[in-house]
């Protein structure tokens, strides 16, 4: 049996969680997921400003703090912290190990080859179309606005790095479940066509990849009785060589591992449950059996899988204009009615100014912003306050900029009893995503392991 | 047959993929799974999210987990990073679904 812990569900997740995973009990592997879809385009911009950046900086900071434990206990760490600069990340991690007092000689593996930004035209010339999976449009529609393009690689390049003795493996983009699946393949020697075991491994990776969402975080069932959110434990899977596993967390930590919470997480961000698609295997979620295995323990078994497709998924980020969001808070009485009048006033002014953004959307936070007017019902005139939130989007930056100057005046020249939050709204660049497929044969994952 | 809000017999979690929201709906007790299957149809969910979901709704059954999974296409104003909505990733659509009324035996 091996223990694989996850200590990071996204870049911006708890800084303490990975340290706690190492310090609060036994683990063999620690996986850290830093890359949300939008992260790659942000990192791409950072690298354009400074060629040494472009990776998740939280990761080397964590390594420095944990260097002693990682070295003395032989814990292996697999993280997609490399972003668009895995080599730069390795250099920073090597330095962090030195600063953290780890003995020399540790091996760090890097997986590259996911970044296909520089190859897009070569692909197009070679007949690889990369049409938008949702709309069928050709990539040429947005080619000149592309900011990053990354393939979701699978587990095998990580396995290769582990086989070469890497104790820390840094990847760029790879499918989220691949981080822990690679550990299982490496430890148990699973074959590349052992579909049921690979599927079980992909399921384990899927359940832990969002951190504490598997251990009582964001869980609807009996939420009031979930112990100690402040000290919530992050997920750990105890995996057997046959692929069955128990999901748990360290003893004495907060949160709760229950069938209810685990089921919510199994269904999180999936499509057709019979076809959970990764680069390495397709898992059938309708075959999973869950059983209570004691306090804070849920056993997974029965998972069936089948061969994946001949394609990798590619995520292409492209620039799609500008956006700004303005907010004003209206107080009791008749807060909702006042906020509605303010919204109409703002729109009339924008119209008179000739400011016509491609999209404008107003929501009334406290009244009906999350579920909409129809489902939320009529707001009470006694609401203590309502936040009016107006967002605009346009390919014309000037239109968005003009909008940002029309929020503050409303505080003095519109409906009464209002407070203004912050300064003028900031103008954001909008990044959109172009999902596409690419034949696996067109992409060469690169693995290198270095002693530092 | 008493009419109740879905939240009394089920729980849910929702998330995004592009411009699509998925909502996993799980019976709080296995005996209620049949109610979900019979009454929480794709058509009803589409009607429930009128004004929020502009595309089709797909439904998948997971009898092993006493659960259904719904895909609400074109429900995020262009997707997480483009959306002008406060809940750009559909994270709160889970409890929006639980407002639906169903008849229980």
- A146 vs B: CB within 8 A: no
As averages over each run of 10 residues, the pLDDT of chain B (105 residues) reads 95 95 98 98 98 97 98 94 94 98 96
- Chain A residues with CB under 8 Å of B18 CB are 134, 433, 435
| Residue contact A391–B92, C-beta within 8 A | no
- Chain B residues with CB under 8 Å of A363 CB are 85-86
End-to-end alpha carbon distance in chain B: 5
Q: Chain B residue with minimal CA distance to A377?
A: B99
| Residue contact A273–B69, C-beta within 8 A | yes
- Contact between A431 and A41 under an 8 Å Cβ cutoff? The reply is yes
| Residue contact A220–B77, C-beta within 8 A | no
- Beta-carbon pairs below 8 A across chains A and B: 121
- Residue among A134, A289, A370 whose CB faces B18 most closely: A134
Q: Residue B99: is it exposed, middle or buried by C-beta count within 10 angstroms (0-12/13-18/19+)?
A: middle
Identify which of B21, B9, B29 has the alpha carbon closest to the alpha carbon of residue B77: B21
Determine the distance from the C-alpha atom of residue B101 to the mean position of all C-alpha atoms in its chain, rounded to a whole number. Answer: 12
End-to-end alpha carbon distance in chain A: 30
Residue A163 to chain B, least CA–CA distance (Å): 34
Give A235's DSSP letter.
P
Amino acid A39: pLDDT = 86
Residues A398-405: contacts with CB within 8 Å, 24+ apart? Answer: A399/A355, A399/A356, A399/A357, A400/A322, A400/A323, A400/A324, A400/A357, A400/A427, A401/A324, A401/A427, A402/A350, A402/A353, A402/A355, A403/A324, A403/A326, A403/A350, A403/A355, A403/A357, A404/A324, A404/A326
For A90, residues 6+ apart whose C-beta sits below 8 A from its C-beta are: A82, A108, A110, A170, A450, A452
User: Is this complex's ipTM strictly greater than 0.90?
Assistant: yes
* Mutual angle of helices A86-99 and A58-73, in 10-degree steps: 60
- A218 vs B: CB within 8 A: yes
Task: Residue window 66-105, chain A: list those with CB within 8 Å of chain B.
Answer: none
- Residue among B60, B82, B96 whose CB faces A273 most closely: B60
Give A257's DSSP letter.
-
Amino acid A333: pLDDT = 97
Cα-Cα-Cα-Cα torsion A134, A139, A142, A145, nearest 10 degrees, comes to 120
For A321-330, give one letter per residue: b (16+ CB within 10 A) or e: bbbbbbbbbb
What does each of the 452 residues of chain A score in pLDDT, given as a tens digit?
A: 999 999 999 888 999 999 999 999 999 999 999 998 778 888 988 998 999 999 999 999 999 999 999 999 999 999 999 999 999 999 999 999 999 999 999 999 999 999 999 999 999 999 999 999 988 999 999 999 999 999 999 999 999 999 999 999 999 999 999 999 999 999 999 999 999 999 999 999 999 999 999 999 999 999 999 999 999 999 999 999 999 999 999 999 999 999 999 999 999 999 999 999 999 999 999 999 999 999 999 999 999 999 999 999 999 999 999 999 999 999 999 999 999 999 999 999 999 999 999 999 999 999 999 999 999 999 999 999 999 999 999 999 999 999 999 999 999 999 999 999 878 999 999 999 999 999 999 999 999 999 99
Two tokens, residue A436: 């596409």
Q: What is the reported pTM?
A: 0.96
For A415, residues 6+ apart whose C-beta sits below 8 A from its C-beta are: A330, A338, A339, A341, A342, A345
The strands making up B10-17's β-sheet, listed across from edge to edge, are B10-17, B20-27, B67-72, B57-62
For residues A340 and A378, what is the distance between their CA atoms, to the nearest angstrom? 13
- Contact between A63 and A70 under an 8 Å Cβ cutoff? The reply is yes
- Contact between A38 and A311 under an 8 Å Cβ cutoff? The reply is no
Identify which of A362, A366, A370 has the alpha carbon closest to the alpha carbon of residue A383: A366
| Residue contact A220–B13, C-beta within 8 A | yes
Amino acid A214: pLDDT = 98
Amino acid A296: pLDDT = 98
For residues B32 and B24, what is the distance between their CA atoms, to the nearest angstrom? 15
Mean pLDDT for chain B overall: 96
Q: Chain B residue with minimal CA distance to A433?
A: B18
A389: left (phi over 0), alpha (psi -120 to 50) or beta: beta
Two tokens, residue A243: 């692929």
Give A331's DSSP letter.
E
Determine the distance from the C-alpha atom of residue B104 to the mean position of all C-alpha atoms in its chain, rounded to a whole number. Answer: 18
- B52 vs A: CB within 8 A: yes
Identify which of A52, A156, A171, A31 has the alpha carbon closest to the alpha carbon of residue A111: A171
For residues A121 and A125, what is the distance between their CA atoms, to the nearest angstrom? 6
- Residue among B17, B65, B86 whose CB faces A269 most closely: B17
């Amino acid at each position: 049996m091996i223990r694989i812990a996850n200590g990071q569900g996204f870049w911006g997740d708890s800084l303490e969680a990975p340290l706690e995973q190492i310090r609060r009990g036994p683990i063999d592997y620690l996986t850290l997921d830093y890359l949300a879809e939008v992260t790659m385009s942000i990192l791409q911009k950072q690298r354009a400003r400074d060629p040494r950046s472009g990776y998740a900086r939280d990761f080397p900071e964590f390594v420095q703090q944990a260097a002693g434990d990682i070295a003395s206990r032989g814990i292996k760490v697999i993280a997609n912290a490399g972003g668009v600069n895995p080599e730069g990340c390795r250099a920073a991690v090597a330095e962090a190990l030195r600063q953290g007092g780890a003995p020399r000689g540790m091996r760090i593996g890097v997986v590259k080859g996911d970044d296909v930004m520089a190859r897009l035209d070569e692909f197009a010339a070679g007949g690889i179309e990369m049409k938008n999976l949702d709309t069928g449009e050709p990539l040429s529609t947005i080619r000149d606005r592309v900011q990053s393009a990354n393939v979701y690689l699978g587990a095998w390049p990580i396995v290769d790095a582990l086989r070469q003795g890497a104790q820390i493996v840094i990847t760029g983009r790879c499918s989220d479940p691949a981080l822990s699946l690679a550990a299982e393949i490496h430890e148990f020697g699973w074959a590349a066509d052992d579909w049921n075991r690979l599927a079980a491994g992909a399921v384990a990776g899927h359940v832990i990849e969002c951190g504490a969402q598997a251990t009582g975080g964001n869980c609807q069932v009996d939420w009031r009785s979930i112990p100690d959110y402040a000290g919530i434990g992050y997920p750990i899977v105890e995996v057997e060589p046959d692929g069955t596993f128990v999901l748990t967390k360290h003893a004495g930590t907060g949160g709760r591992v229950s069938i209810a919470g685990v089921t919510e997480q199994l269904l999180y961000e999936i499509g057709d449950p019979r076809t959970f698609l990764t680069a390495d295997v397709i898992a059938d979620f309708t075959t999973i059996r869950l059983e209570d295995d004691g306090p804070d323990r849920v056993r997974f078994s029965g998972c069936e899988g089948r061969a994946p497709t001949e394609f990798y998924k590619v995520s292409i980020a492209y620039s799609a204009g500008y956006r700004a969001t303005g907010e004003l808070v209206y107080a009791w009485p008749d807060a909702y009615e006042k906020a509605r009048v303010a919204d109409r006033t703002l729109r009339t002014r924008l119209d008179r100014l000739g400011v016509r953004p491609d999209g404008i959307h107003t929501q009334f936070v406290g009244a009906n912003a999350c579920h909409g007017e129809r489902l939320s019902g009529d707001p009470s005139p006694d609401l203590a306050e309502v936040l009016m939130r107006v967002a605009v989007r346009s390919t014309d930056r000037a239109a968005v900029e003009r909008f940002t100057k029309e929020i503050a005046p409303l505080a003095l020249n519109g409906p009464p009893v209002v407070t203004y939050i912050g300064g003028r709204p900031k103008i954001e660049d909008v990044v959109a995503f172009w999902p596409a497929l690419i034949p696996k044969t067109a992409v060469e994952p690169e693995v290198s392991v270095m002693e530092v | 047959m008493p009419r109740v809000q879905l939240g009394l017999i089920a729980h849910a979690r929702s998330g995004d993929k592009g411009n699509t929201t998925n909502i996993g709906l799980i019976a709080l007790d296995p005996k209620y799974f049949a109610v979900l299957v019979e009454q929480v149809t794709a058509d009803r969910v589409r009607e429930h999210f009128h004004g929020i979901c502009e595309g089709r709704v797909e439904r998948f059954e997971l009898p092993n987990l006493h659960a259904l999974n719904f895909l609400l296409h074109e429900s995020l104003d262009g997707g997480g990073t483009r959306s002008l909505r406060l809940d750009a990733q559909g994270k709160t659509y889970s409890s929006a679904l639980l407002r639906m009324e169903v008849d229980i035996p």
